[in-house]
Structure 1
Amino acid sequence: MVYVFFADGFEEVEALSIVDVLRRADIDVRMVGLISSVVEGSHGIKVEMDDILADVVFDGSVEGMILPGGMPGTANLINSNSLKELLQKGESAGILIGAICAAPSALAAFNIYEGKRATCYPGFEHKMKHYQLVSDRVVVDGQLITGKGIGTALEFALSIVGVLRDDLLSATLAKNMIMK
């Protein structure tokens, strides 16, 4: 199972692209609202969640945890101590953790997978001091996946599929979605 965490002000395209692509790969994905079962994105789109953070249990079925970006969504992610604790459990268990756009700065605030290669939305680099920043659109370094922004959302999601399942499935999905 993969948890995708939604905070008010999330970037809709990033969050929903991730959920959509993972579900196309038959990966069990749960959309988790930080505090509410309906979360509003940065462009006014409201999305009904599968769960709320208070009800999430970290167990052996969790394969990954993903943070979409957006503002003020990322700031709201950073302000959640419960999310921080859950992500730290995930890091200790060695599961996949991903973040896109501004959200890698939340991982940095929580000290998740420090020292690894990463990317983030331009202008957030100063928040990523304990990472090896690269300018790639999507970066996979072990169990950490980061994406640069909204224009990389599908590549980011397909990279998650590649790590959690295999590159052939990721390539097949990309072909079926008419990606380059």
Structure 2
Amino acid sequence: MDKKVYVFLADGFEEVEALTPVDVLRRADINVTTVSISNSLTVTGSHQISVLADALFTDLEFSDADMLVLPGGLPGTHHLNDHKELINLLLEFSAKGKLIGAICAAPLILGQQKLLENKNATCYPGFEDNLINADYTAQPVEVADNIITGQGVGAAMKFALQLVAMFKGDEFTNELAQKMVVS
């Protein structure tokens, strides 16, 4: 069965943290859909790079999703955090133990929803107070049960490869990293 990942984009998203996972997951033949949470398919990142999302949030139902991914960036993270339907989807996914990835500032969304309680987690330095009752590690990437968190732009490749590993295992992921000349 083909795995399905949704990556959520809001104006002000961090381009590297969104597009690196999309690229790496697609290289691994994992089905990825980029989702705009606004009324436009065109989403502009925090560095004024515009991206054409694959779909609008309102046009999807997500019942086929295996993983949800939240890139960081400001104010993109705040826009994601203010999207009530996305928050409800994250809560539903967490309750079912389905995979959720968040990087940079975006783990604050999971932290504020108390989805990181008693779990190791990481985020961009300075946002750790938002990881309510989590065990903040300051590592580039953390995996705690069904939740994968990443620290920031510098960890985007490692984060993306960890997302692949959740579906394809370490051996496949290591071979993919080698092909991509990731050291």
How far 1:126 sits from its partner (Å)? 0.9
How far 1:95 sits from its partner (Å)? 0.8
Tell which deviates more after alignment, 22-31 or 110-119: 110-119
Q: Report what 1:108 is aligned to.
A: 111
8 Å CA contact retained: 2:114, 2:132: no
User: How much identity, in percent, do the aligned residues show?
Assistant: 46
Residue of structure 2 aligned with 1:179, choices 167, 179, 182: 182
Matched, 1:18 2:9: no
> Number of aligned pairs?
179
Give the TM-score of the pair, scaled to structure 1: 0.96
2:45 counterpart letter in structure 1: G
Instruction: Supply the distance in 2 between the matched residues of 1:31 and 1:143 (Cα, whole angstroms).
Output: 20
Tell which deviates more after alignment, 147-156 or 102-111: 102-111
Residue of structure 2 aligned with 1:88, choices 88, 91, 110: 91
DSSP-derived class of the 1:9 partner = coil
Q: Report what 1:51 is aligned to.
A: 55
Q: Show structure 2 runs of 5+ residues with no match.
A: none
Q: Report what 2:6 is aligned to.
A: 3
DSSP-derived class of the 1:166 partner = helix
8 Å CA contact retained: 2:116, 2:132: no
Instruction: Supply the distance in 2 between the matched residues of 1:159 and 1:147 (Cα, whole angstroms).
Output: 10
DSSP-derived class of the 2:34 partner = strand
How far 1:141 sits from its partner (Å)? 1.1
RMSD: 1.0
1:43-98 alpha-carbon deviations (Å, 9 max, x no partner):
11110111111122131x21100000000011111111011011111112211101
Instruction: Supply the distance in 2 between the matched residues of 1:164 and 1:115 (Cα, whole angstroms).
Output: 24
1:13-41 alpha-carbon deviations (Å, 9 max, x no partner):
11000100000000000000001211000
Residue of structure 2 aligned with 1:117, choices 117, 120, 124: 120
DSSP-derived class of the 2:43 partner = strand
8 Å CA contact retained: 1:19, 1:29: yes
1:100 counterpart letter in structure 2: I
8 Å CA contact retained: 2:116, 2:133: no
Instruction: Supply the distance in 1 between the matched residues of 2:34 and 2:114 (Cα, whole angstroms).
Output: 23
Instruction: Supply the distance in 1 between the matched residues of 2:85 and 2:58 (Cα, whole angstroms).
Output: 8
Residue of structure 2 aligned with 1:155, choices 158, 162, 165: 158
How far 1:115 sits from its partner (Å)? 2.2
Tell which deviates more after alignment, 161-170 or 41-50: 161-170
Instruction: Supply the distance in 2 between the matched residues of 1:44 and 1:55 (Cα, whole angstroms).
Output: 25
Instruction: Supply the distance in 2 between the matched residues of 1:92 and 1:2 (Cα, whole angstroms).
Output: 18
8 Å CA contact retained: 1:11, 1:41: yes
Instruction: Supply the distance in 2 between the matched residues of 1:53 and 1:113 (Cα, whole angstroms).
Output: 24
Q: Show structure 1 runs of 5+ residues with no match.
A: none
